[in-house]
Chains A and B, each alone.
Chain A
Amino acid sequence: MAVSTVCTTQSLNSTCSISTPEKTHLGFHQNQVVFYRRTSKRGGGSCVITCSVGDSQTVVIGLAADSGCGKSTFMRRLTSVFGGAAEPPKGGNPDSNTLISDMTTVICLDDYHSLDRTGRKEKGVTALDPRANDFDLMYEQVKALKSGIAVDKPIYNHVTGLLDPPELIKPPKILVIEGLHPMFDERVRDLLDFSIYLDISNEVKFAWKIQRDMAERGHSLESIKASIESRKPDFDAYIDPQKQYADAVIEVLPTELIPDDNEGKVLRVRLIMKEGVRHFSPVYLFDEGSTISWIPCGRKLTCSYPGIKFHYGPDTYFGKEVSILEMDGQFDRLDELIYVESHLSKLSTKFYGEVTQQMLKHADFPGSNNGTGLFQTIVGLKIRDLYEQITSSKTAAPLEATKA
């Protein structure tokens, strides 16, 4: 699907130059450059060079979440919606955080740490602190990738805690930047075509971290709790405020279906979608803009305890108009999932049952039986829809220019 814009340059003398595909500042993407030369009728001897820029429409998506909150799972679901599995760059640093698939490249913003682990220890700052991150470099490189220029991005090695030599990143069709601060810097925020924030409540975060860390020697309930508590001030000051800028927020809370539940297995997940975002139409239930409370379990569908409960309605979030779709409970069977999918509207699916198919494809991922997996899949489909809208609108504009 080569989408190209045609640009023409005219030189005053009769020199003609042919541009060749290189990874230069001209921003050509290898294997996609098509050039042809035609002579202009005007101005004797002047030559018209036409070049096509393959990837000037990189779509940039930002994903913000604290560590241990499901960013990797979300990334895997998202890349799977576009087809293919994302993998670390072949032949490069094995500890690279970057994932590359045919359509997408996922960049971890930890690579833009200005202080490595020892540096942060000396200064007494956490990775959450903006002083530990180089936002200027982040802005320059994201801007370059968005305009179709390859960059040499540093690598932050999570195992050693050091900054490794840079790796080359070529501009992809979809660039996802995931980390702690994608929306912190205003300049970077303006480059994002769509942004998502994963908001995990404290109780759920604690339960997830226990599940993650209890297998490690050395960790105990107290150490996990102390780790969360001591990071909380920095998190609340620097990371949490980013949720007001996000176009979609996935909020994960403990369930309301089971009184006094502290296992954290059944979750209540809310998908908060901002209204009025370009190329993004929020999902709705039954009737857009009205408030609906829906329990699908009944005569047509039998669910096991604790069942499923849906809620949809308009609301305001940090002063902005939003629509909230909420799911409490979990799916036990395939037919529950397809039943729910058939009643949701504006899912941006290409065929009936696509959401269910995507969920089944990754049934082993955490959250595949509750709202986290469902809403992550839906957001993935929305991003695909956004990408297709952006690329089709960009091809329309230059075609008109060439006619002139």
Chain B
Amino acid sequence: MAQLVKKIVTSKILLNKGKYCLYKCDGRFLGDSWVAGSCIDPSLGLNDDQKNIQSLAIDFARNELQPNMKKWDEEEFFPVEAMRKAASLGFGAVYCSEKFGGSGMSRLDTSIIFEALAQGCTSTTAYISIHNMCAWMIDEFGNEAQRGRWIPQLASMEKFASYCLTEPNNGSDAANLTLSAKRDGDHYILNGSKTFISGGGESDIYVLMCRTGEKGPKGISCIVIEKGTPGLDFGKKEKKVGWNSQPTRAVILEDCRVPVSHLIGQPGDGFKIAMKGLNGGRTNIASCSLGAAQACLEISRDYLKIRKQFNQPLENFQYLQFLLAEMATKVTASRLMVRQAAQALDEDWPEKVALCSMAKYFATEECFNVCNHAVQIHGGYGYLKDYPVQQHMRDCRVHQILEGTNEIMRLLVSRDILLEGQRKYS
């Protein structure tokens, strides 16, 4: 009873302390603020088709994701229904070919879609992008039978997918991974474990990199394992700072027999497949960061107009005006880099790997900073879970770490610049 009284008293205090504090923090719609026609309009530079696609994604995010992002984070709920609904619109296999049920869109369209969806829920969108990356790897490198079997299931999200590369002892040093796959007749026997697998335990399809041959990258192969295969097990669900609408678990293989027909491509192709998948994964994750930052930018803009201190709205203070301008510029610069990297993938520029790496580290860092500034702008309220800025910040923090740490991104960029002689593009 005392706790109930305390709750009522606290909320009354909040309500009275500032008439402005419990402003529409839950009721705000995406795009409510004066974005269209301004310099931060995400549709700048897009053609009509792209704008239509963006509209669709924004509507979906506004109606299906944004109202639930807080609850999903709090309850660590994996929103299967909502994601299947997204898949029914074509968001399950956005850049897979239409042949087996993909949507046949470009990487640039994909970036636009994920940026829009991430404004609604960054964590869920990030998972959807990982699922898309796995679907593409199968679509691009699998044979007709494999594509025919798995792509329709993944496009509709009847089945969910996870990307399994990282191991307890091999993160950035992925080329030296140790999970082994020994040939035994028409099966491989897999032993070892993967960590930090997004979707682990919930996903039905695991696109996994394993060692079938010699040391180093050339001995790695890519294989698909389905949940329920004997010998496939999962660790405990990790407790994370963010990305709480998707479970993260270790994936453990003990004498797990997987048919040779599940091998994607040829033995020894695995590392190449993994890296090519990651090029797209990097623009996708960067796009998710863009969405989080764009949302925080718009929310902060609204807040500056409503919150008053020293008898005037915060928007009158030059420091905050300048801060908002800097945040906006960071988002726009990041967006341009990400969209160009996507275009480089679409048009197969030789420099695409370095461009994707640049875009990934730049966007994930700058967009996290934007979200962080947004929390500061909101003062004490920014720290409360009632307000979405802290969730966007927590959710996009990990983008600087996964799909290739930002340090590895710098390595790839510097390698491209310092290389003498013939460039070997992958």
Check if A and B associate.
no
Residues on B close to A: CB < 8 A?
none
